[in-house]
Amino acid sequence: MENKLPPAAERVTQLETRITYLEDTVETLNKELATISAEFRLAKEALQHMYRRMEQIQTTDSGIANPADEPPPPHY
């Protein structure tokens, strides 16, 4: 005689297995999302810092913040 689970019990076992797999997948994705969010935050801060630094350099080097306000080169 076969040792087979009744259909309802077998179905419950399959669903429990799927739920366990999905819970693990969600946990893995949450960890990856947290890592990516932290990396994005750092990249955004670095970009903002570089942007502010470029503005400082442009203002400090020429004394003019907007390149359109610069006088034309001597050959014009």
pLDDT tens digits in sequence order for the chain, 76 residues long = 566 777 999 999 999 999 999 999 999 999 999 999 999 999 999 999 999 999 888 777 655 556 677 778 888 5
Name the pTM for this structure: 0.58
Strand, helix or coil at 63? Answer: coil
